[in-house]
Amino acid sequence: MKILVLPGDGIGPEVCNEAVKTLEVLAAKKGVSFAFEEDHAGGSAIDAYGDPMPDAVIAKAKASDGVLLGAVGGPKWDHHTGAMRPESGLLKIRKELGVFANLRPVAVSAALADASPLRPEAIAGTDMLVVRELTGGIYFGEPRGRSGEPGAEDAFNTMRYTTPEIERVARVAFTWARRRGGRVCSVDKANVLVVSQLWRDVVTKLHKEEFSDVELTHMYVDNAAMQLVVRPSQFDVILTGNLFGDILSDAAATLGGSLGLLPSASVGGNVGLFEPVHGSAPDIAGQGIANPVAMLLSTAMMMDELEQGDIANAIRAGVDAALNEGLRTADLHREGKTTRVSTQEMAERIREAALASLV
Ligand code: NAD
């Protein structure tokens, strides 16, 4: 399998490097062969090619089986505007790969319960996946506009979903539920919004026709926001649209206690894009203290998507082992309670434990 690695900027290369090493050792033990190719993205691509996401890199991405991306951006490129911004490169590759479903798992292991802003007993057992529709809904709906004189202006956006758009993202959610706890909670506002009524009808029909082995429930978004902070452990897969998903996935992201723990995947096209939720963290770049867990868990999601579940599970087991042993990078370290390690030391221990768990 061909994997394109785009380390990007800041801590991106530091954490990507550990991800590649980890895949190499696990693949060797499993007898799977990965061909890695590396290229520039974001600021580093501006420096190398004068473009944050050149077409040649997009072509390599499309010809691969999966893309691992570190993070892009940083003060060096902040003066760039429009299509020359590093983040524009990210939007371009997402659009070009046609990835319409964004997946963000949030799992809080017992070892990290005290890092959460919620009480340990409220967070215990949390292990959810938010599946957010990424390319439709009110962020893209037409018409949109603003008119009128100052003081009497009006403005409008359109929330619009088509049946195929709902079906395809719901299919992703149901498929992941089968790999996980077998439950989907579809979040909408069907008591008020017509578009949510269609959303609910389409999800219900698809469930009945193709995924009746998965448990399906529906929840209004206002209740879902409340349940996320009251009893997050009740959720397995949350399926929702672009606007609600944007808000709920960020709320869910805070539950774990550090950005350095959160992986993501954007899927739906022929090739998936796997990247940590965090950015390039220029404030800690080059110091060897970044948490590699978000990147390694993103790599595990790529392995799931490429039907390499054993390797995915081994990476997750490695992460759990290192955390249970009390190893922490600086973002999560607590003096007198945990053992502070570098990016490399953390990743090394995760690899050892992952290898040991791989049969
Ligand atoms: P950030 O996620 O880079 O950092 C926020 C804070 O979290 C910082 O204090 C950072 O040190 C810390 N942090 C992040 N990842 C960490 C890790 N793995 N281990 C330990 N600590 C970690 O967000 P920001 O500071 O708002 O943005 C910095 C740059 O990254 C900007 O240029 C921004 O545009 C870009 N950015 C890129 C992406 C992406 O590539 N997907 C996402 C968000 C921000």
- In the set 49, 62, 76, 139, the catalytic residue is 139
Residue 91 has pLDDT above 90, yes or no: no
Residue-level pLDDT at 156: 95
Give the whole-angstrom CA distance, residue 351 versus residue 359.
Answer: 14
Report residue 56: phi and psi, to 5°: -65, -35
Residue 275 has pLDDT above 90, yes or no: yes
Q: List CB contacts of 346: < 8 A, sequence separation 6 or more.
A: 291, 292, 293, 322, 327, 328, 329
Q: Which atom of ligand 1 is nearest to the CA of 278?
A: 2
If DSSP codes are grouped into helix, strand and coil, which group holds residue 186?
Answer: strand
Residue-level pLDDT at 133: 96
Name the residue with the closest Cα to ligand 1, atom 36.
279
Residue-level pLDDT at 279: 93
Beta strands 145-147; 35-38: pairing state: unpaired
Q: List CB contacts of 126: < 8 A, sequence separation 6 or more.
A: 106, 107, 108, 232, 233, 235, 255
Q: What is the pLDDT of residues 176-193, one digit of tens each?
A: 999 899 999 999 999 999
Q: Is 12 in the pocket of ligand 1 (CB under 6 A)?
A: no
Q: Which atom of ligand 1 is nearest to the CA of 295?
A: 18
If DSSP codes are grouped into helix, strand and coil, which group holds residue 214?
Answer: coil
Q: Is 250 in the pocket of ligand 1 (CB under 6 A)?
A: no
Cα four-point dihedral sign 266, 272, 273, 276: positive
Number of DSSP helices (H) and strands (E) in the chain, helices first: 12, 14
Residue 113 has pLDDT above 90, yes or no: no
Residue-level pLDDT at 220: 98
If DSSP codes are grouped into helix, strand and coil, which group holds residue 329?
Answer: coil
Q: Between the CA of residue 212 and those of 181, 188, 220, 221, 238, what are the distances in Å?
A: 14, 20, 22, 23, 17
- Cite the beta strand spans of 141-281 per DSSP E: 145-147, 154-156, 183-188, 215-220, 237-240, 263-267, 272-276
**What CA dihedral angle connects 67, 73, 79 and 85, to 10 degrees?**
20
Strand order across the beta sheet in which 127-133 lies = 35-38, 2-8, 66-71, 272-276, 263-267, 101-107, 127-133, 237-240, 183-188, 215-220
Query: Count of CB atoms within 10 A of residue 145's CB?
Result: 10
Pocket test for ligand 1, best of 278, 291, 350 (most atoms within 8 A of CB): 278
Q: What is the pLDDT of residues 283-301, one digit of tens each?
A: 999 999 999 999 999 999 9
- Cite the beta strand spans of the chain per DSSP E: 2-8, 35-38, 66-71, 101-107, 127-133, 145-147, 154-156, 183-188, 215-220, 237-240, 263-267, 272-276, 327-328, 339-340
Q: What is the pLDDT of residues 19-46, one digit of tens each?
A: 999 999 999 999 999 999 999 999 999 9
Residue-level pLDDT at 225: 97
Pocket test for ligand 1, best of 280, 291, 299 (most atoms within 8 A of CB): 280
Give the whole-angstrom CA distance, residue 242 versus residue 135.
Answer: 7
Active site residue 189: yes
Active site residue 220: no
Give the whole-angstrom CA distance, residue 53 versus residue 84.
Answer: 9
For the chain, domains (ranges, CATH) are 1-102+267-359 (3.40.718.10)
Res. 256 pLDDT band, cuts 50 70 90: confident
Active site residue 139: yes
Give the whole-angstrom CA distance, residue 73 versus residue 85.
Answer: 8
Q: What percent of the chain has pLDDT over 70?
A: 100
Res. 197 pLDDT band, cuts 50 70 90: very high
Best CA proximity match to 41, nearest among 99, 102, 92: 92
Res. 253 pLDDT band, cuts 50 70 90: confident
Structure tokens at 30: 């499993």
Q: Between the CA of residue 84 and those of 46, 182, 216, what are the distances in Å?
A: 8, 43, 43
